Amino acid sequence: MSTSILITGCSTGIGYHCAIALHQAGYQVIASCRRPEDVAALQTQGLHCVQLDLASSQSIQQGLKETLDITGGTLDVLFNNAAYGQPGALEDLPTHALREQFETNFFGWHELTTLVIPLMLEQGHGKIVQNSSVLGLVAMKYRGAYNASKFALEGYTDTLRLELMDTPINVSLIEPGPIESQFRDNAKRQFEKHINIDDSRHQASYKKTLERLGKSSPTNKFTLTPEAVLKPLLHIINSNKPSPRYYVTQPTYIFGFLRRVLPSRWLDNLLVKSN
């Protein structure tokens, strides 16, 4: 049997690209999407695809059940990938918007992961891969909700790796910087949904944020295609001892290094100018 891998967040971007590429390479891919129409679209492309909404416990449990029906009750790799960004200054962010961010970006990952761990322990092997971000290493203005969810994920995953060290389960983080996807489009919708620009002292900056999010092409010259994430994912899948961390894109390497060597105030002065 080929290696089975469940990937969350496959409607677009990294999840979609990795699901298609791994399927074409002969892996048993079970893609998952939140919306039924996206599930149907991937199924027409020949993929196994299940509906899985990380903000719903019932959907998580049902999605995993359908996954295991496809694989025959086993799962070799879980790739937690589904996430979105909620822009806006923390002072302007409604608490319920922060809860929504964590429900999808963190709590849903935890629930799915804890359902998979007993299965992997019983079968005697397994790999859990967490798709984090450079924004889990350093913070940037107006990305506080996303920063918080990814910083939480980093600590969570480091702890999980320690707790599973005496088991046959490997845990790895992939930490991308800017990657081509619909992340900006989704972030723009969330921004317009939750942030009241007119009542904010950040109004002028917000207008620039909306302009950046509304551009059809990447605004960061270091932006890479999703292929850049597929490479470390393949290494993890095929390695007997995958690394705990995989940096992706030049900004991740740069800021990962600067975070270790610079005083906090020096790093703040760099980050406050970053977009």
* Block residue for tokens 């891919």: 29
Query: Is the backbone of residue 151 left (phi > 0), alpha (psi -120 to 50) or beta?
Result: alpha
Report CA Rg, the chain: 19
Please give the C-alpha separations between residue 232 and each of 116, 119, 238, 247, 267, in angstroms, as whole numbers. Answer: 22, 24, 10, 9, 28
In single-letter form, the type of residue at position 242 comes to P
| Residue 18: closest CA among 224, 228, 217, 218 | 228
* Catalytic, out of 27, 84, 142, 146: 146
Is 146 annotated in the active site?
yes
Alpha helix stretches (DSSP H) within the chain:
13-24, 36-44, 57-71, 95-102, 108-123, 144-163, 183-194, 203-213, 227-238, 250-261, 264-271
In this structure, the dihedral spanned by the alpha carbons of residues 38, 41, 46 and 50, taken in order and rounded to 10 degrees, is: 30
Strand partners, 33: 51
Dist CA 247 CA 232 (whole Å): 9
Dist CA 218 CA 64 (whole Å): 34
Dist CA 62 CA 188 (whole Å): 30
Catalytic annotation, residues:
146
